[in-house]
Structure 1
Amino acid sequence: MVFSSTTVVKGRAKGIVTNTGMKTQIGKIATTLMSVDADEQTPLQKRLNKMAYFVFLAALILVLIVFAVHKFQYSNEVAIYAISGDIFRQGESTDGKNYEQDEQIPSGTGSNNYLRMIQTASLCNMSELRRTQHPETHGEWTAIGDPTEIALQVLAYKAGLAKPDLVAQGFKLIAEFPFDSSVKRMSVLYQTPESHMGPSEHLIFMKGATERVIGCCNYWRDGDNEHPINSEKGADGRDAFEAMITEKMNALAEKGLRVLTLAYRKFEAAPDVDLVHGLVREEVESDMVFLGLVGIYDPPRAESRPAVLSCYQAGVRVHMLTGDHPSTAAAIAKEVAIIPEELDAANSPLVMTAGQFDAMTDEQIDSLDELPRVVARCSPNTKVKMIAALHRRDLFAAMTGDGVNDSPSLKAANVGIAMGQSGSDVAKQAADIVLTDDNFATIVQAVAEGRRMFANIQKFVQHLMSANVAEIVVLIIGLAFKDDDGNAVFPMSAVEILFLNMITSSPPAMGLGLEPPSESNMREPPRSAKQGLFSFEVVMDTFIYGLAMGILSFVNFVIVVIALNDANFGSECNAHYSPSCEGVFKARATAYATLTFLILAHAINCRSLRERGWTYANLSTLKQNKMLWVSIVVGSLLVFPVIYIPGVNHNVFKHSSLSYEWGLVACALVLFIAFAEIYKLIKRRVMKPLSLQNSAEVTLDRSTTGVDSFMAK
């Protein structure tokens, strides 16, 4: 037996094609979409909300403490002092070259077998090739449609049998049975033109997955002759013809080619049959003549492998769900580093077919040490089942897709990512994000950017909260001091606190929100979905730095008011200035200046959890973040007019000008910087290094690498 034809063309393909023909399938998709909760908050939103409630509760407790110290006696100063602590809440591919028709291939090889193959590739095809007329593009070719069909149409164009030419010759489309994921094939019925070789006739052309097309074939074509497919069995018990075709298909698939099978037959309908509405698909797609195999080279993008490797480095595990043959899927997965190159895909649980995966119960899937990284011949339900399996493992799942059939899984994923170029409108509406360039590397860049944003939110909040902790330390401990009237003496006035929160602390915190990514950004482990906005280390830093700043500021207040001013607390110094309040007012100014410079210096500490902040290398990069640099400089300069402008200092801020007290401020600043560096040194030596302690799961869609779905923790 002679194998008829194998053709290899270049082009890009995607795994799952939109189902437009089966109403029952559309109904299932609609039902699935309606059953998915689309209003679920993201983990970050949940964390921010929890933090807001915590801050509100803490503020409420502090208000009660302040009023309790004053025996719940109300005054304007007490009320302002109590509420001035701040509630925070923040709710090879089909590119232009492949369309060029300069390279031609022969349309015949001495028989019409090859002619029938090219006709099938051309006519059983909904894509279009167009040459632009704009002078700036120099008549470049562009394509519209499914990438697989585009690749086949390129083949037809290069063979001189383009679909528009065949239609112009008289080929007339009578009926179409579109691709369906349940049958994985497509067929069309055409009426041929009359010619000198004979009258017009009806031909059925079919393309699809090899195992689905072979089942429809009773004949195979050898040159101009058609032979019946005999039923003799091979050594493995399979039909000899099917075994031979499978061997040829595997040989192509193992090279990373997407393999389609082409078939045709002459069609003679009964006179009373309506050729448009009276055809039954099962009857039309039978008794076919096998023509040959087409291998489509679908190279992954050059940036796909580095992007996948970056995912693994970041603890994000990548999976590939595709409609390809298992050998094709495994070859592509090896090429982009989804599975090891030395892996025996045929005998590894990391590579499965959809049939194998779908046949497993949830308990069997959950018992697997690792979910399969490649699932071939994938159906829409397979993707939904994979997402459910990821969720049962407490993994955060993101997925990419482009077809209508992908919409349930896009909806079920924590983050659905639709393809902006090749995606259907249904997929885009079901998704949370639309990827404009259909590129997996862009998703990885988005993951890196998301990590940068999350880290910067932590820096932003940590800086604000550390400042608040420092203020609370000064304010609460300071309530122990009583003036001559028996009232508590405030170490800082309400306006000072407000100025620290709004003018001194907020701009550097916002600058921290604009920090560029750290070098270890994509080498750190994924965060658990159960972890709050703050890790244990961040919470510890917030309180330790806050306590250090608060204690240093309070110590300076105590030194000035007790050691340098004989513990003279005056009378009604919370409300207005008097000579008896000079000591308290100077102590307030010292505490205020100290805390101001400590808060600004702490912005440098917050740039990194463990790395040294006060090094030349780190400080030299500070100007890259103009917002942070300017806010530190401006915040430092604003201290002086606030302290020295007459009237403003006594009447507004309730403090006095400083002289030799600046020495205390400088000492506190040096001590704080030294403390911060020693503290980070201890953390680097004692605490475990940031490593890949967790993993994440990712499932891709072939349209991004080309790979068919993306999921990540």
Structure 2
Amino acid sequence: MSSTSATTTPTPEPAGRPPGGLTSTEAARRLADVGPNSLPRPRRVTPAGRVLAQLRDPMILLLLAAGVVTVLVGDAADAAVIALVVVVNTAVGVTQDLRADQAIAELDQLTAPVAEVVRDGLRLEVPAADVVPGDVVRLDAGAIVPADLRLVEAATLSIDESAMTGESQPVDRSVGEEVLAGTVATRGRAVGEVLRTGADSGLGRIAGLIGTARVRETPLQRRLRRLSRDLVLAVLVIGVVVVVLGLVRGEPLVQTSILAVSLAVAAVPESLPAVVTISLALGAHRMAQRHALVRHLPAVETLGSVTVLASDKTGTLTEGRMVAGAVWVAPGHRYDVSGTGYAPHGEVVPDGVAGPDGSLDRLLRDAALCNDARLVEPTADGEAWGAAGDTLEAALLALAAKGGARPDEVHRAWPREGEVPFEAERGWMATTHRAASGDQALRVCKGAPEVVLDLVAPAEPLRGTAAAETTRLAAQGFRVIAVADAASYDGTPPDDLPLELVGLVGIADPPREVSRDVIADCQAAGIAVVLVTGDHPVTADAIADRLGITEEESTTVTGPELAAGVDPDSLAETRVYARIRPEQKVQIVQALQERGDVVAMTGDGVNDAPALRNADIGVAMGKGGTEVARQAADLVLADDDLRTVVVAVEEGRRIYSNIRNFLRYAVSGGLAEVVVVVLGPLVALGVPLLPAQILWINMLTHGLPGVAFGAEPAQHSAMQRPPRSPNESVLGAGLAVQIGWVGATIGALSLLAGVAADVGGWDIQTTIFLTLGAAQLAVAMALRAPGPFGEKRPLDLAVAGAAALQVAGVYLPPLQSLLGTQNLPLPAALTAAGLALVPGVAVWLRMRVERRA
């Protein structure tokens, strides 16, 4: 445990300051009682424990059992593939488990390394971990708040709470109010008494939310787990049936058991985990090319199943910067402002008829003069203009520059002589200036409209018009600033002159240019988009309406309403959540999940991290977001481009479609082999296939061709259909029926080939062997996604290679000895090839009908 020690020379606390704080003895006692002011740590899990947790997955257990069987029957190739798949899947799962620990570790970066406290009447700098409840802490501009404080002194204090609450602009705090750990003082100074530290602080509670959030299974993982259980049951039934039928026919138990085991191995699509892993890895590679980092492989597919996209506002749907977007000047003319961020590039364009000459110039001059901020030019390619000081004041500087009033020139022409700094209790700021040439003096005042309008001359004729304009701008989501001034030409002090209203400026955090298109694309794909923000409902509704999130029947829910209890059924129509606290974001995500939705959450702040962790997939901003959000997320957008989310949805749907196509192909092939082995003796074909022949077909069809399905491109209609229900089986939506008729068709035609061989005097087992393998490969080609003629794909090469090896198994002597096959005459080979094409043609015709529908 850290000891309380000074890191700088103690300074006596000036008279008139707050009480002398705790004594060093009392601080040490409290530190021993409550523990260090640090974030809670998750319980450590040993590497062995993480590995064992992954090996308990039903599909992995099924693969391990199949691996044991393949070793026993001497199938070294399949055993090696199964071992590789188990290792890869286990490694991916362990990596996923490490994310929670990493997210908590990154929260430490937000805690102040040192804090300035008052103890024994002296000002000391101590490690932030040694701060205890009751300590008196001093804050200056730029300081990170080390713990939750109640302010006992505050002078023009503004706190950047965006990372904690989602508020898009610094918040003014005054005596008696609380400030939270992890927030940043952007202006002024303050003294506060520590209320809560460590796990009890606001930052600590968020860390606890992240640490206690369980890793949810993705929809694909849930579907594959159910499929694994069904396959295990099916394999056991098949084995018992084959053994019983063999014994009834009088065949030896050992031979019948080997045949049953071989058939069971063939019926299990052991390449499925490899297909899934490779599909996800290829998807992650494609996403990386679009500047998106996939931190959790299953997240790529999960986006394809998303039914609700819950998005933070500040820095996600919006730019995360304050921008002046509208201007109103006396006597009543409006202007629109173009440009983005704090860059002094854009135009101030009249909305209708321009105002009188000089009216706009006067407002722009005043906005630059009554201002303590500074615009920061980019220092490297690709950087944006920044703001030093209050971001709202920086937006006013950018506005002045866009209108031609360069701030540096204005300040040289009107040097400042005095000022009344902004205070939250007052609600306004004023500065006095004297012209560099001449005797003219000027007083400029800016602040909240309701306050500034009370300061202007009582007979001001535009007071009512300005109040109505303020209401109009606020309804559009703008924060409105009123500007007034008073000029003296005869030496009269400007402070003695009545103020005149100059105009109003509407400032907002504007939507990103791509946000509306992203939302429209999501809605076209059947994904509901909801806005979750800490902002005021009026601001949130305005942004949501501008982006096309809201509809006529949609509703808005506030944080207090959510805390009071909301009917879960009403959430179906809710599109805006405003004044939401961090823990309520988690509540919203969980409520949507309980309704059966698959939820994607986007965000960039510390306050978003718990929701990102709890969502089915968390999407964080990589450039403008916090490291905590990035570590808690599954997908990080390195360039903060929301269009990548739409690309990822399409990628996820492509992956899921390819997995279903693989199952359609692999499971139907396994079913066909079961049909042949079980029904062959009933149509007088004896033992239609040997165990080695079954395993050979299985290796060729489930090997490279099966894995190649993971690289198939997306269908053009992928984003025009709604997401699949998360409760739907991976074999749902008619896939099980298709597998049934395809498998039955392949099996029946293979038996027909055996009957033809019996009639023609050809080797029955070899003819069935060739027909069965070729028919499965024909189905694989029929399931190939449409594309340009002649386009080369891994699936084409894999099928060609498998077909060559299948033929080699019939005609090459070494393989004949291994597989028990014989040379077939040309008529037999042509018969087998002709029958093998029929299932492929039938599937191809069916797929064309489905795609047109």
Q: 2:739 aligns with which of 526, 529, 542?
A: 542
1:591 aligns with 2:747: no
The 1:150/1:406 distance shift into structure 2, 3 A limit, reads farther
* Residues in 1 aligned to 2:223 and 2:768: alpha-carbon distance in whole angstroms: 34
Q: 2:815 matched to 1:648?
A: yes
Q: CA, structure 1 residues 674+460, in 2 after alignment: closer, same or farther (shift >3 Å)?
A: closer
CA distance in structure 2 between the partners assigned to 1:330 and 1:78 by the alignment: 68
Q: 2:506 aligns with which of 295, 305, 313?
A: 295
Mapped partners of 1:421, 1:532: distance in 2: 38
- Alignment match, 1:361: 565
Partners in 1 of 2:696 and 2:420 — Cα distance?
79
Q: Is the 8 A contact 2:342 2:387 kept in 1?
A: no
How many angstroms does 1:600 deviate by? 1.3
Q: Tell whether 2:472 aligns with 1:251.
A: yes
Letter of the 2:618 counterpart: G
Change (3 A) 1:193 1:679: closer
Partner of 2:291: none
Q: Deviations over 1:176-199 (max 9, x none)?
A: 99xxxxx9x999999999999xxx
Question: What is the Cα deviation at residue 171 of structure 1?
Answer: 12
In structure 2, which of residues 670, 676, 681 is the aligned counterpart of residue 468 of structure 1? 670
Among 135, 154, 163, which residue is 2:398 paired with?
Answer: 154
Tell me the equivalent position of 1:386.
588
Q: Conserved in 1, the CA contact under 8 Å of 2:662 and 2:706?
A: yes
Does 2:385 match 1:142?
yes
Give the structure 2 partner of residue 708 of structure 1.
none
- 1:65-121 per-position Cα deviation (integer Å, ceiling 9, x unaligned): 33334449553684265235343252896799765547799xx98999977754665
**Residues 506, 429 of structure 1: alpha-carbon distance in 2 compared, 3 angstrom cutoff:** same
Matched-pair contact (CA < 8 Å) for 1:156–1:162: no
Q: 1:302 to 1:220 in 2, by over 3 A?
A: same
Distance change in 2, residues 1:607/1:153 (3 Å): farther
Q: How far is 1:251 from its partner?
A: 2.0
Partner in structure 2 of residue 79 of structure 1: 258
2:756 alignment partner, one of 546, 553, 559: 559
CA-based RMSD of the aligned residues comes to: 5.0
Structure 1 residue 658 corresponds to structure 2 residue 824: yes
Paired residue for 2:13?
A: none
Kindly provide the CA deviation profile for residues 535-560 of structure 1, in whole angstroms up to 9, marking residues without a partner as x: 14111111210111111112211331
Distance 1:684 1:515, change over 3 A: closer
1:317 aligns with 2:528: yes
* Greater Cα offset, 41-50 or 141-150: 141-150
Specify the SS of the correspondent of 1:418.
strand
After superposition, where does 1:624-639 map in structure 2 within 5 Å? Answer: 624=791, 626-639=793-806
Using a 3 Å threshold, how does the CA distance of structure 1 residues 422 and 482 change in structure 2: closer, same or farther?
Answer: same
Relative to the length of structure 1, the TM-score reads: 0.65
- When residues 605 and 173 of structure 1 are mapped into structure 2, their CA distance, relative to the original with a 3 A threshold, is farther
1:317 partner letter: A
Check whether the contact 1:258–1:325 (CA below 8 A) recurs between aligned residues.
no
Q: Which amino acid aligns with 1:305?
A: R
**3-state DSSP class of the match of 1:518?**
coil
1:373, distance to aligned residue in structure 2 (A)? 1.8
- After superposition, the Cα gap between the structure-2 partners of 1:556 and 1:417, relative to the gap in structure 1 and judged at 3 Å, is same
1:603 maps to: 780
**Distance in 2 of aligned mates of 1:81 and 1:141:** 67
TM-score (norm 2): 0.56
CA deviation vs aligned residue, 1:7-60 (integer Å, no higher than 9, x gap): xxxxxxx854699941453344334334432x2211111211222232233223
* 8 Å contact kept, 2:622–2:638: yes
Q: Which amino acid aligns with 2:619?
A: I
Kindly provide the CA deviation profile for residues 594-646 of structure 1, in whole angstroms up to 9, marking residues without a partner as x: 112211110133347xxxxxxxxx5x636435111212222333333221122
Aligned in 2, Cα 1:409/1:194: closer, same or farther, shift over 3 Å? Answer: farther
Unaligned runs of 5+ in 1: 1-13, 178-182, 197-202, 230-239, 265-288, 344-348, 484-488, 566-582, 609-617, 691-713
Asked if residue 525 in structure 1 is aligned to residue 718 in structure 2, the reply is no
Query: 1:394-413 counterparts in 2 under 5 A?
Result: 394-413=596-615
Q: CA deviation at 1:591?
A: 0.9
Alignment of 1:692-711 (within 5 A): none
Q: After superposition, what is the alpha-carbon deviation per residue over 1:384-413, rounded to whole angstroms, capped at 9, x for unaligned?
A: 443344234221111111122222332332
Indicate if the aligned counterparts of 2:781 and 2:840 stay in contact, CA closer than 8 A: no
Q: Is the 8 A contact 1:464 1:509 kept in 2?
A: yes
How far apart, CA to CA, are the structure 2 residues paired with 1:58 and 1:604? Answer: 27
The answer to whether the 8 Å contact 1:495/1:652 transfers is yes
Deviation at 1:518, TM superposition (A): 1.0
Asked if the contact 1:419/1:436 (under 8 Å) is kept, the reply is yes
Where do residues 273-284 of structure 1 align in structure 2 (5 Å cutoff)? none
Match in the other structure for 1:22: 180
1-structure distance, mates of 2:658, 2:623: 32
Q: Please report how far the alpha carbon of residue 589 of structure 1 lies from its aligned counterpart in structure 2 after TM superposition.
A: 1.6
Q: Percent identity?
A: 26
How do residues 262-273 of structure 1 correspond to structure 2 at under 5 angstroms? none
What aligned pairs does 1:3-402 form with structure 2 within 5 A after superposition? 16=168, 21-23=179-181, 24-37=201-214, 39-71=215-247, 74-75=253-254, 78-79=257-258, 82-84=261-263, 85-86=265-266, 87=268, 88=270, 90=273, 100-101=343-344, 117-118=367-368, 122-123=372-373, 129-132=376-379, 142-143=385-386, 151-152=395-396, 154-155=398-399, 159-161=405-407, 217=451, 220-222=454-456, 247-253=468-474, 256=476, 258-261=478-481, 293-296=504-507, 299-322=510-533, 326=537, 329-340=540-551, 343=552, 350-352=554-556, 354=558, 357-358=561-562, 361-363=565-567, 366-368=568-570, 370-376=572-578, 378-380=580-582, 383-402=585-604
* One of 440, 452, 461 as aligned partner of 2:654: 452
Residue 706 of structure 1 corresponds to which residue in structure 2?
none
CA contact (8 A) 2:753 2:767 kept: yes
- Aligned partner letter, 2:379: T
Deviations 1:573-603, CA, capped at 9 Å, x for gaps: xxxxxxxxxx5xx212211211122111101
Aligned to 1:522, the other structure's residue is in SS state helix
- 1:431 — aligned with what? 633
Alignment of 1:655-694 (within 5 A): 655-659=821-825, 660-676=827-843
Q: Which letter does structure 2 place at the counterpart of 1:642?
A: G
Q: Say which SS state the counterpart of residue 620 (structure 2) adopts.
A: strand
- Contact 1:259-1:293 at 8 Å conserved across structures: no
Residue of structure 2 equivalent to 1:271: none
| Pair 1:444–1:151, CA change in 2 (3 A) | farther
In the alignment of these two chains, the number of paired residues is: 563
Distance (whole Å) between structure 2 residues aligned to residue 509 and residue 173 of structure 1: 75
Where does structure 2 lack aligned partners over 5 or more consecutive residues? 1-165, 172-177, 182-200, 277-317, 322-337, 349-357, 437-442, 485-499
**How do 1:458-497 residues align onto structure 2 when only pairs under 5 Å count?**
458-480=660-682, 489-497=686-694
Q: Aligned pair in 2 of structure 1 residues 657, 325: CA closer, same or farther (>3 Å)?
A: same
SS in 2 for 1:624: coil
Per-residue CA deviations over 1:197-223 (Å, capped at 9, x if unaligned) read xxxxxx9x998xx6xx96xx598443x
Contact 1:117 1:291 in 2 (8 A): no
Query: Compared with structure 1, are the counterparts of its residues 428 and 34 closer, same or farther at alpha carbon in structure 2 (3 Å cutoff)?
Result: same
Q: Distance in 2 between the 1:360 and 1:504 partners?
A: 58
Please name the residue that 2:711 is paired with. Answer: 514
**1:469: how far off?**
1.0
Which has the higher relative contact order, 1 or 2, with Cα contacts under 8 A spaced 6 or more apart?
1
